[in-house]
Structure 1
């Protein structure tokens, strides 16, 4: 699965760079990872807003893509805020210094890289892997919120990095495979928006909650928000699969 390798380059290298220089780390732009020649769409004509509406309409009416959008809307907005969460955990929950902060990011990156390499060897990105990745990510995020010890938090962050990569790589692959070439760029822009463009919404929310209630309670509340999104996605997947089965039976008869 090529997207597993792309996720390795984006997530793993980004987190490892923060562990090497925790005081001056910056978020690199992973946009180049989407520039594989095999994924480039031919230039389309028409108004920009009309093209965007067409991509959004396709995403919402296509079961495989809509499920990813639902899950990403929750996890991307509230779950993938590691740049905000980990410094707060290191400083206020674990009373750690810069070296500890770097180690936490390194654990997150290690889990991401290992999971991405394993995913790259798989031939299919299944819906089961997508949902399991989302559920595992949410549960691990809640466990990180409850962890009072540094070593336990580091171990949980390693697993959290793995779960985040399983989910994001599977989501990206399924969206691309379910989308026609002429719409792929527009649909994948939704993926980019929900994974990177939504963090400016979630990060201030986490910061405000942490300032008032502490990072542990804030992270528990964020995990609950992610859980609501995952539950909504699972309900949608179940109902849409049942509807598809009924339609197929009607056509057969």
Structure 2
């Protein structure tokens, strides 16, 4: 039986990063905002299917438009994050997202909403995300420092997935009662929480490691840095394939719910929440991490994800799909966290904004290609194909990376300067 003192210490270590005031403010604002963002995503997807006659191609196009700016502009966003004050950039990005979401809500609430309205605002929000995502990822280390970075990153994933549990389920209920417009309007208001939390921070407590760089922040230097680091390059490549084909749940789940199980918005919300519940559990498991994950953990979690997503695509009943989606969510978050921590903890601070921008670019920027392909596939081969094809491709990529690693050519120790900058450089199997 575990002693009460040991339980208290374990709980304290799980939420250790929340002892930092700036991060506590940030996490609170994000929890509310991200919950409403997931509600908006469900409302947006349901609106697209309603306006297009359940078209997988239309849904794929919306997803592509939302992530295309990430593909084109994220590296520039990472350059901005390394060059300017990340807190100020995040305030501006969240304020811009709030304004765009409000305009989107008005377009839906007023008579005559059309598909091109959805396309336009998806593109606009994606453009803002190209700056916000790499800035937010690299800002976490400034709030808590390198030692607490894995814990803070895992807690960030926890609140993100808590939002994914609550948001879709609540959205399904509200859409059934109020329609999609009010849900999108609620998301617009929620950005105030993030902006206010950033304004309430104490800039003097941020661990910036010196003044922002001005003249030596070329995108090409960041790419050259990663190219010379096999231990960063291989997980980046694996993230690219899994992100393109495996992580297209925004496309595959609405189609699965509406065309395979003939579900209503509430049931669709349950599918999304099941995926998020598994991800949330994995996020809490990784709060115990204190060192850099091994390459083996990255590949093993990718293999598990590929197998589980394939099985989800073959699920015979709605109940079976819920269970498999929860397991798939656990594997997907384990993989995402392992690659995030392996890449971020292996990067020198002066390159971290650009490295995490490349990570975000590869993770999310490949989504447009995958969304268009899987949308076409689902429309011609059925909604299930988007899941099992994505799972099989992810599995094949993980096995290919495993083969490279077994040959001993795909990993390497980081340079001494990175070890000193990211102490402790201790492999972590969690």
Sort the TM-score into its range (normalised by shorter chain): 0.7 to 0.9
CA contact (8 A) 2:404 2:410 kept: no
2: CA distance, partners of 1:8 / 1:117: 6
User: Which position in structure 2 is the counterpart of 1:251?
Assistant: none
Larger radius of gyration: 2
1: CA distance, partners of 2:398 / 2:363: 15
Q: For the structure 1 residues 14 and 208, does the alpha-carbon distance in structure 2 shift closer, same or farther, using more than 3 Å as the test? A: same
Moved more, 99-108 or 2-11: 2-11
Give 3-state SS (helix, strand or coil) of 1:92's partner. helix
CA contact (8 A) 2:248 2:367 kept: yes
Of structures 1 and 2, the one with the larger relative CO (CA 8 A, separation 6+) is: 1
Question: Which one of the candidate residues 252, 269, 285 is aligned to 1:85?
Answer: 252
User: Which position in structure 2 is the counterpart of 1:188?
Assistant: 356
Give 1:14 deviation, angstroms.
3.2
Give 1:242 deviation, angstroms.
7.9
2: CA distance, partners of 1:152 / 1:95: 15
User: Which position in structure 2 is the counterpart of 1:145?
Assistant: 313
User: What is the total number of aligned residue pairs between the two structures?
Assistant: 240
Deviations 1:23-63 (A, max 9, x none): 4477999x99xxx9457785223366xx2112122222212
2: CA distance, partners of 1:11 / 1:146: 24
CA contact (8 A) 1:42 1:182 kept: no
User: Which position in structure 1 is the counterpart of 2:214?
Assistant: 45
1:101 is the counterpart of 2:251: no
Give 1:173 deviation, angstroms.
0.8
CA contact (8 A) 1:93 1:148 kept: no
Give 3-state SS (helix, strand or coil) of 1:21's partner. helix
Give 3-state SS (helix, strand or coil) of 1:43's partner. coil
Give 1:151 deviation, angstroms.
0.7
TM-score normalised according to structure 2 size: 0.51
Q: Within 5 Å, which residues of 2 pair with 1:1-253?
A: 1-2=150-151, 3-22=153-172, 23=175, 24=180, 37-38=206-207, 42-46=211-215, 51-124=218-291, 125-241=293-409
1: CA distance, partners of 2:285 / 2:210: 28
Q: Which structure 2 residue ranges, 5 or more long, are not aligned?
A: 1-149, 196-204, 414-430
Moved more, 3-12 or 171-180: 3-12
Give 1:227 deviation, angstroms.
2.3
1: CA distance, partners of 2:233 / 2:210: 21
2: CA distance, partners of 1:102 / 1:158: 13
Q: Which structure 1 residue ranges, 5 or more long, are not aligned?
A: 246-253
Give 3-state SS (helix, strand or coil) of 1:106's partner. helix
CA contact (8 A) 1:111 1:158 kept: yes
1: CA distance, partners of 2:290 / 2:216: 37
2: CA distance, partners of 1:82 / 1:40: 38
1: CA distance, partners of 2:386 / 2:273: 23
Deviations 1:86-120 (A, max 9, x none): 11111112222212111111111111111100111
Q: For the structure 1 residues 220 and 17, does the alpha-carbon distance in structure 2 shift closer, same or farther, using more than 3 Å as the test? A: same
Give 3-state SS (helix, strand or coil) of 1:46's partner. coil
Aligned-residue RMSD, C-alpha: 2.8
Q: For the structure 1 residues 180 and 242, does the alpha-carbon distance in structure 2 shift closer, same or farther, using more than 3 Å as the test? A: closer
1: CA distance, partners of 2:331 / 2:391: 14
